[in-house]
Chains A and B, each alone.
Chain A
C-alpha cells in the first residue's frame, strides 16, 4: 500500500512538469475551415491501390481508398493526412491550399532508402555507408520485453553476440561486437551512445569472487527504458566507429530516445507489462538419487558425523529409514533432488510506462515515466527501477535548433544472488549438500539455538553457507543507484549548406551500496578470537561518477552537378571523475546489529580518479551521381592516463560504397544492389586506468602495537611506457534486394587485428608484484556475417517475413609477447577453492582458450593409472605443467531465425537462436562428482558393483585390474590432481527463444463510441526461453554459465538457473 502511495507521488511529481512543458511549446495546429480533400493513391507501377487508410493525424477521422484507389475526406488546412498500408511506406502530407492530393505509396524496403543515425548523431542515408550498420527493430524489443533491454536482442543482429548471464533480477549482459577486440582487462563491450552521450556499458560484478564480485550488479544499459527508444543503430566495425576514437574500438551502439514529432497533437501512451519467470530445472540430468549422506558407504550415526559429512553422498543406498541429520533430528533417508528449485521462487516483473508527447511547427516534446518492480527467482532478490525521460526539440529561430534530452534512472537492487564461484550462495549450497537432507531441515535448523550462529551442517562450513541462515538472520546486500544523463545540442544552420553544432553531455551517477556478512557464518562461535566481540561485518560504499563530454562540429555539404561533397571537422573533450568512499565495521559490541557505530574495528577508505581525453577529428565524403561514395576520416586523441611523451594517437579510416543497381534497369529482378568496403585504424588506451603509471604507498589504517606500518600500495607494478593499442579493421559487404524487395541479402566479411594490446599480465610474484600492464600481444577476429530476409507471403491482410542472421567468428591469438607463446590469464585454483583449469591466450589458438590437466595417457592413447588403480594426471604438455588446451569459450557460430507473421491486426513473432563452437568447464560437476552427488559418482557402486576398476592400463601397458574400493578418495583425485576430462563440455545450444503474439485492438475499440478517445490499443503475450532444442552440457542451461566479464570466460560454477519468462503487456494510446 505504501508503495502505491509513493508511486502516486512520483507520478504527480513528474506529471506536473509535463503539463508545464505542454504550455511552453507553442499551440500545435491552427485549425482552419474544413474542406473535402480528394485524390488517388497509386503504387510504384502507377496501379491504383485499394484499402489504403487515410487518417487525419491526431484525430480519429479516417477513411480508406476504394477499388480505383480514390478517397475523400474532410480536413482543414494545416491538418496532416497519414496514408498507410501494411507493407508500404507510410506517407504524411500537410493539407495546403489544394483540395486534390494524389499520393504514390512505395512498397516498404527498409533501409534501401533508410536513414540511419550514425556517428556523432549524424543522420545518413544507408546507401552512402561503406560499412555495416544495422538498425534494430525496436518493436520487437518492446514485444519481447526483458528487464535489461539488451537481453531482448540475443540472436537478432549478426555480429552482435549477447550473452545474458543468469545473475538475478538486475543483472548485466555480455555484449560483444565482432568478437572480442582485446584480452580481458580492457573494456571489450561496445560504446553506448545515448543521444550523443557516450558511455561505457559498465558491467558491475562481472568477474566473480568476493562479496561484490560474486554478485552481478547490472550495467548502464538498464538505465534505458525500451519504450523511450526511437531508434537504435549498431555500428559493427571499427570504421563505423573510427570517428568516436578510442572508446569505440569495439564498435558502437547508438541509441536515440524519443522527443516527439513536430506537427503532432498531444498524445498519451500507457504501457503495462507483467512477466513471470520460472526457473528451468535440468538437474535431474546429473543428480544421483540412489545414495544418501555419508562416507565410506555408511550413513551418519551421530549428530557429529552428520555434521562433518553433510557434503558427502558416499553413504548407504537410500532406504527411507529415519537417519540422523546435522541438527540431531532423524528424518527419512531419501533423495531430495529438487531442493534448489523448491528454494527458488517464480520471479515476477511489473513494468508500467506512461508517456506524454506533443509537437507544433516549432518543436516537439516527449516525456515519460517508467516504473519496474522485479522479484528475482531467488528469495529476497528484488530489483526496482524508475526511469524518467524527457526529450525536447525546439526551433529557437529558423536557423537555430535546440535539442534537449534528459534521462534519469533510479535503481534499487536488493540481494543480487551470489554466483559463479564457490562460497556463499544458494546454488553452491544446494548442489553441494548430500541429497538425503531435506530442504525443511535446512530451513528449520538454519540457526544454532545455543550460539545463534549458523547450525553446522557440513565439513565445508564457510565454503558453503546455508541460505536459510542468511534469510532468517537477514543478510543483506543493497545497491541503490541514481543516474542522470543529460544532453543539450545547439545546431545552427549558417547557410543552406553549412552548419555548426555544439553539444554538452553530462553524465552523473551515484551508487550507494550496503552489505553485511553475518555473525556466525560458517562458524560455531559468535565471538571473534579472544576479543569478546561479535563476528560479522558491515560495509558501506558510496560511488560518484561525473562524466563530461563536450564537442563541436562544423559541417557542410554541397553538390556540383553530379558530384557531392559532405565534410565536417570537430573536436571533443571527455572528462571523467570518480570518487569512492568505503567504510567497514566489524568486531561488534551488540550481536547482529549491523552498523558502523556498533563495530569496534572500523576501516575507511577514499578513492579518487580522474582522466581526460581530448580529440580533434574530421571527415570528408565525396559522392558521384548517387552511384559511388568515398569517405575519408581522421581523428587524433590525447590521453591523460599515458606517459606525456607518448600520449596521443591518430586514427585514419576510409570507406566507400558503390550502388551498382543504379547502372541497371529498374524493371529487372534487382531492386537495389550495393557493394561496400572499408579500412580503419582505431586506437585505444582502454585498459589503462588513471595512475597506473604511478607507484604509491598504503599506510595501515590501524596501528600495530602502537606502531604505524606501511606497505607499497597494491600488488600492481606501475609501467610508465604504456601506449594506446591499435585495432585495424577491413570490411567488405554486399547488399542486394530482389524480386520486388521480397528477398534481401546482406553479407559482410571482416578482418580485425588488434596489436600492442594493453594487457594486465600476471607476473611471477617473485618479482614482488602480482601483476602489471604491458603493451604486448596481438590477436585477430575474422568473421562473416549474413542476413537473409524473405517475405514469402504478402497480401493486403497477411504478411510473413522470415529472416536468418548468422555470424561466423574465427579468433586467433597471434602473439602474446613472451617466448613460450602462451599467456596465463587465470589459474582458477589460484583464486581459492576452485579446482579446475586455466584460461590462457596461446599463439595460433583461438582466444579465451581453456586448459585443464587430463588423464595421463600413454603413446597408444590409453589412460594410465597407478599401481593401485588410482588416477594420474597428465604432465608436461605445451605449457609444461600438465595442462592441455580443450577449446575456446567463444562460440564460432551465432545467429538467429526470426519469423514475423501478421494477419490483419494480429502479429506473431517466433524467434530461434543458436550458438555453436564454444567450450565450458563445469566446476559444479567436478564438485558433485568428488562429493558423491552426481550420477557420474555412481560408477563403482551401482547394483552388483563392488568398487571401481577404472578403464585404463598400468604404466607397463597391461590392463588395469586393481579394484578401488575407496571411491571417495578416487573421485577426490579429480580435484586434487585437477583432471578435467569429464567436465569439459560444449556450450552449444539451439533455443526457441521467443514466441510472441500481439493483437492490435484499435479497430475494435474504435467501434465502441464511448472509447473514441482511444487512439490505439495493443495487447501482447510472449514467452521467452520457450525450449532448448539442443544442448551438450547436462544439468545446466549452457547460457547459465558465463559472467559478463572476460576473466572467467568459459568457467562454470554455481550459476543460477535460467528462467522461462511469460510476458503480458498492454499498450494504450490516447
Chain B
C-alpha cells in the first residue's frame, strides 16, 4: 500500500494535476485587449435594416414577386426574412460592440468623449429599434457577457424613450472640448471625409449630432404628447443641431474593399426589386433633379449589372403598382406594362448611383434635421421660418447627391426651378404634407426614418395596399419580432407581444397613436 501512496505523490508532482492549466487555456494568438475606440468605430459601420423592409411599406420600392422567399409587404405578409435584418444588425451587431466598449471605458476619465459618443450612438440604434418594433429589450439588452443576461426582458417603448432622452442629454453634457480626441471615429475622425483634427471640433460635431437625434426623438412625440414634443424639440434646437452637410453623420464606401451589402443584394437580386409607382410618380410629376440618380430602366431587369448605361430619363420611368403580383404585371394584354427580357417592364433603382455598392450610407443628416425643424417652426415650437428650413433641407439633400458615385453636382439653378415647382413650392397651408413628403424622398436610403416619419406625420399621402385583408385596409404599423427571438426568448417575447396588442403588423409603437 505504501508503494501506491508514494507512486501517487510522484505522479501528482509529475503531472501537477492542474499545474499550468490557466496558461494552457489562454490563447496566445488571440486579441484579448483592445482599444475601445476601435470597437466603437466598428459599430458605426453597421447599417441598420434593409431595403426590402420599411421602404416597401412606405412604397418607395417594391418586390412584386409573390413566390416564397421574396414575399413581403407588397402582399401585406408578415415575413420573417423581411422583419429580421434590422434586429440582427442592431443587437448582435452594433449593440454588442457598443456595450462592450462602454464597459471598457466607463469610469476612465481618459475616455470621456469616447464614452459620450458611444452613448449617443447607442441611443440612435435603440431609437430605431423602438421605431421599428415597438417594445424591445433595452435595460437588459447586450449584457450576456457583462451580466450573464441571456434572455433579456422587454421594456416599454415609452420608458426606453425617456431613458434615451436622459442618455442623450447626459452624453451631450459630458462632451468635453479639452478631453480626448477620438481619431478612429468614422464620422468625424481622421479617416472620415471631414476630419475634425481636434477634440474641440469633434465634440462640437457630436454635440450637433446628439441634439439632432434629440430633435428627432422629440418630434416622435408629435401625436402622443405635443407639449412634450415641443419641450424636447425646443431644448434640442437651443442646444444646437446640425447646420450644414459638413455635420452629416455618414460612412463612405470606396466600393472596392468594402461595399454596402444591401446595395449589392439589390443588384444581385435585381429580378425581384423595382421602384414603386407612388415614389416614381412623385419624382416624375415634380421633375425632381434627384430622380435620374435614383431610378433607372435596364435592358434586362433580371441582370442590371450587365447594362452599364441604363435609361435614367425621368419621363421614361415607371414604378410598379402596389399590391399587384408579378404574374399579373407580366401578363400579356393585361392592364400593366408586362414583362421585359428576364423581368418586368418597370424601373429599378439606379445601381450606379444611389444604389451603388460604393454609395455612402447617410445615417443622420442636415437635410433630415432641417426638415424636422421646418415642421417644428411651422407648428410654432421653435423660432425661425418654416419655409427657410424647408428649402435649406431640400438644397442640402440635393448637394448630398454629389457624394454618390457617377453623379454630377446638381446646379443651384436647377434646384431653384425645382423649389418653384407648383408641387414643391412652400405653401403654409400645405406645409406638413410638403415637408414630410420631402422627408420621404430624403430618406430613400434610410427606411427606418422614412417609415417612422410617415407614421408620425401621416405624409406622404399613400393609398393603403389592399392586396388581401391582412391589414384591414390600413398600413403596416411596425415590423414583427424575429421568429428566432420568439423561440429563443419565448417568455419575454410573449409578455412583450401581449403588451403591444399582439406581435403583428398592425400593432402600434407607443408614439404612433391613431
Contact = CB atoms under 8 A, between A and B. Distances in A.
Interface in A703-742: 703-713, 715, 717-719
Contact of A614 (B16, B33, B192): B16
B423 interface: no
B271 A764 contact: no
B8 interface: yes
Interface in A89-132: none
A711 B483 contact: no
Interface string B20-61: 111011111111111100110111010000000000000000
B108 to A, nearest CB: 17
A1047 B357 CA distance: 36
A639 B25 CA distance: 10
B327 interface: yes
Interface string A517-557: 00000011101011100000000000000000000101000
A761 interface: yes
Given A529-B357, A571-B11, A769-B92, A612 B186 contact: no
A527 B191 CA distance: 28
Interface in A298-320: 302, 304-305, 307-308
Contacts of B238: none
Interface stretch (A214-222, A242-250, A602-610, A658-666): A602-610
Given A304-B342, A640-B24, A768-B92, A717 B491 contact: no
A428 interface: no
Given A451-B306, A527-B305, A767 B142 contact: yes
A881 B396 CA distance: 46
A68 interface: no
Interface string A964-986: 00101100100110000000000
Contacts of B191: 704-707
Nearest to A533: B256
Interface in A761-797: 761-770, 772, 774
A569 interface: yes
Contacts of A702: 257-258
Nearest to B44: A709
A530 B257 contact: no
B18 A616 contact: no
Contact of B68 (A462, A616, A699, A975): A975
Interface string B77-97: 101100000011001100111
B145 to A, nearest CB: 5
A640 B25 contact: yes
A302 B356 CA distance: 30
B184 interface: yes
A606 B29 contact: yes
A32 interface: no
A562 to B, nearest CB: 24
A694 B27 contact: yes
A304 B343 contact: yes
Nearest to B146: A768
Given A606-B29, A766-B141, A976 B17 contact: no
Contacts of A715: 92, 96
Pick from B184, B306, B356, B484 the residue with the most CB of A within 10 Å.
B484
B433 interface: no
Contacts of A822: 490
- Chain B interface, >50% SS class: loop
A690 interface: yes
A752 B12 CA distance: 32
A717 B144 contact: yes
A573 interface: yes
B302 A307 contact: yes
Contacts of A527: 305
Interface string A683-705: 00000001101111111101111
Given A308-B302, A640-B18, A702-B257, A569 B96 contact: no
A530 B357 contact: yes
Contacts of B302: 304, 307-308, 456, 524
A696 B11 contact: no
Given A525-B306, A601-B257, A827-B483, A764 B137 contact: yes
A614 B145 contact: no
Interface string B125-160: 000000000001100111111001111100000000
Contacts of B493: 880
A611 B25 contact: yes
Pick from A525, A611, A765 the residue with the most CB of B within 10 Å.
A765
B341 A709 contact: no
Interface residues of A, number: 102
A925 B363 CA distance: 44
Interface residues of B, number: 109
Given A571-B15, A710-B39, A608 B494 contact: no
Nearest to B492: A764
B42 A710 contact: yes
Interface string A608-641: 1111101010000000000000000000001111
A270 B342 CA distance: 61
B69 A833 contact: yes
B255 A820 contact: no
B67 A968 contact: yes
B184 A930 contact: no
A830 interface: yes
A425 to B, nearest CB: 18
Pick from A530, A607, A976 the residue with the most CB of B within 10 Å.
A530
A715 B150 CA distance: 12
Contacts of B251: 705
Contacts of A824: 487-488
Nearest to A522: B268
Contacts of A614: 15-18
A569 B7 CA distance: 9
A707 B257 contact: no
Contact of A525 (B7, B143, B303): B303
Contact of B149 (A647, A697, A767): A767
A118 to B, nearest CB: 22
Nearest to A460: B69
A529 B259 contact: yes
B145 A705 contact: no
B483 A765 contact: no
Nearest to B193: A705
B483 A694 contact: no
A459 interface: yes
B24 A830 contact: no
Contacts of B66: 969, 972
A640 B19 CA distance: 9
A295 interface: yes
A764 B257 contact: no
A210 B491 CA distance: 32
B252 A764 contact: no
B255 to A, nearest CB: 5
B339 interface: yes
Contacts of A835: 68
A772 B7 contact: no
Contact of B11 (A296, A616, A695): A616
B51 to A, nearest CB: 16
Nearest to A576: B24
Pick from A767, A772, A975 the residue with the most CB of B within 10 Å.
A767
A695 B97 CA distance: 12
A829 interface: yes
A879 B485 contact: no
Contact of A766 (B17, B38, B152): B152
B252 A705 contact: yes
Given A308-B302, A707-B191, A710-B35, 14 more contacts: A307-B302, A524-B303, A530-B357, A601-B257, A609-B27, A641-B25, A694-B26, A696-B27, A705-B254, A715-B96, A768-B100, A769-B144, A880-B493, A975-B69
15 contacts: A304-B343, A308-B342, A607-B29, A616-B11, A640-B18, A644-B22, A647-B21, A691-B27, A709-B38, A713-B31, A766-B152, A820-B491, A830-B484, A868-B468, A972-B68
Closest 4 CB pairs of A and B: A764-B489, A768-B96, A710-B38, A767-B144
